[in-house]
Structure 1
């Protein structure tokens, strides 16, 4: 049993995203531990080689992170969480409106020269 970190997912948080990992192949390390290691890296900003030794090996975590990025898994997790948050707020899953703000600025080429 490893030390618990502030960045670790709770059981409830893991249950929300766990179904998104079903298509990944079985590994020596639990997917939750790999996700916790990635969250630790993102939250603390530590270098890969400084990942605490009670997490899975750095090479394993980096390989998992890279494959998940290339497969679009991180984007799928984010989309899933946004939809869930919108549902819980009583909104439709997809936004129905968008606001765009713009500002016009004169460039130096448009200024009259005297």
Structure 2
């Protein structure tokens, strides 16, 4: 993970081959299996806490959700400076 992010070809060799893992991931994504798993786990956690399994409200932060806010963040993010040849220590 630290070297490559999440490259499918770097799945550990003691697990299923990467192409098999990727195929199942894509199939389950298309079938919305991940959404079903998420919903089932959320319901169980909420019940274990003594709460209603289905949330009755949601909180949405408008600053992080609006397209304008995203544009402002990218405008204010400084570009990475490339080190000059003279800055490199040999």
Relative to the length of structure 1, the TM-score reads: 0.46
1:31-53: CA deviations, max 9, x gaps? xxxxxxxxxx7xx8331111111
Contiguous gaps of at least 5 residues in structure 2: 64-90
Relative contact order: is structure 1 or structure 2 higher (C-alpha 8 Å, sep ≥ 6)?
Answer: 1
Change (3 A) 1:89 1:48: same
Alignment counterpart, residue 66 of structure 1, candidates 1, 23, 26: 26
Contiguous gaps of at least 5 residues in structure 1: 1-40, 104-114
What is the Cα-based RMSD across aligned positions, in Å?
2.3
Change (3 A) 1:91 1:54: same
> Could you say which residue in structure 1 is the equivalent of 2:17?
57
Relative to the length of structure 2, the TM-score reads: 0.58
Q: How many residues align?
A: 61
Question: How big is the shift at 1:96?
Answer: 2.1
